[in-house]
């Protein structure tokens, strides 16, 4: 997926043309089971999926962090993330773009087999897209907020997401669906945000997502 919206290239005083892209199971930590979804959840499916999902524990090669999910603010995006996590879609994916003082981005399945730069890096997804859910009232691009990446078109959410490394409320258009926030392990996010990168913002040493476990409120 070719993402050319205002997030993908970083901030230079103002945001320039950029490149942020973009299986229901029982509640609680679950093993990866397939197959992965072939389409985003419907509203009814999202209600069922989100009922058993409160947090996502993301284990990476640099440590673990926990995302509190916001299904009330973005039911489709939250349920889509949960469904992809439960089927193992994110296992083995690496962060393909890290911009210090801006965002860390992941979700391209092509990074499972190619840890370096490759044609189409940052364009991969689950094979489908879905509508952007504008940020709900009271939700902003605060530090550690997790949002869907997209290419600026109304139906361009997919599997790619980014984590705000700093407060970006004055730097981003409200065009990126907010579906969670890192509430534990923020030091890991800070570490990710400080890694060495290539001129194309690709981490020199791959930051790999080993697993994403979905936990229930209980």
Instruction: Kindly indicate the confidence band of residue 217, based on its pLDDT and cuts at 50, 70 and 90.
Output: confident
Whether the per-residue pLDDT at 25 is higher than 50: the answer is no
Reduced to 3 states, what is the DSSP secondary structure of residue 173?
coil
Q: Which of 28-32, 34-38, 154-158 has the lowest mean pLDDT?
A: 28-32
Tell me the average pLDDT of the chain.
88
Tally of CB atoms within 10 A around 75: 19
- The pTM assigned to this predicted structure is 0.87
Closest CA to 104 of 54, 159, 157, 166: 166
Domain 11-30+45-215, CATH 2.40.100.10 — does that match?
yes
Tokens of 123: 């364009």
Q: Which of 22-26, 122-126, 165-169 has the lowest mean pLDDT?
A: 22-26
SS3 164: strand
pLDDT of 34 strictly over 90? no
Q: Which helix (H) or strand (E) holds 116?
A: none
pLDDT of residue 13: 32
Q: Report whether pLDDT(5) > 70.
A: no
The structural domains of the chain, with segments of one domain joined by +, span: 11-30+45-215
pLDDT score, position 27: 37
Q: How deeply is 114 buried, as exposed, middle or buried, from its count of CB atoms within 10 A (0-12, 13-18, 19+)? A: middle
Burial, 57: exposed, middle or buried (Cβ in 10 Å; 0-12, 13-18, 19+)?
A: middle
- Residue with the larger pLDDT of the pair 152 and 189: 189
Residue 105, pLDDT above cutoff 80: yes
**Whole-number percent of the chain with pLDDT over 70:** 84
Q: What's the whole-number mean pLDDT along residues 7-28?
A: 39
């Amino acid at each position: 997926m070719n993402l050319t919206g205002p997030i993908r290239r970083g901030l230079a005083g103002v945001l320039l043309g950029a490149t942020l892209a973009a299986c229901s199971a029982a509640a609680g930590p679950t093993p990866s089971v397939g197959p992965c979804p072939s389409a985003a959840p419907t509203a009814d499916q999202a209600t069922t999926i989100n009922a058993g999902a409160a947090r996502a524990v993301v284990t990476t090669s640099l440590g673990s962090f926990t995302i509190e999910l916001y299904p009330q603010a973005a039911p489709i995006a939250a349920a889509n993330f949960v469904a992809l996590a439960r089927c193992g879609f994110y296992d083995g994916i690496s962060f393909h773009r890290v911009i210090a003082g801006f965002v860390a981005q992941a979700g391209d399945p092509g990074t499972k087999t190619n840890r370096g730069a490759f044609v189409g890096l940052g364009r991969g997804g689950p094979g489908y897209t879905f509508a952007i859910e504008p940020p709900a009232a009271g939700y902003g691009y605060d530090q550690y907020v997790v949002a869907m990446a997209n290419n600026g078109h109304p139906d361009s959410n997919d599997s790619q997401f980014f984590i705000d490394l700093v407060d970006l409320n004055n730097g981003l258009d409200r065009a990126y669906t907010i579906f969670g926030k890192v509430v534990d392990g923020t030091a890991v996010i800070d570490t990710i945000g400080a890694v060495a990168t290539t001129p194309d913002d690709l981490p020199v040493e791959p930051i790999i997502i080993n697993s994403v476990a979905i936990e229930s409120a209980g």
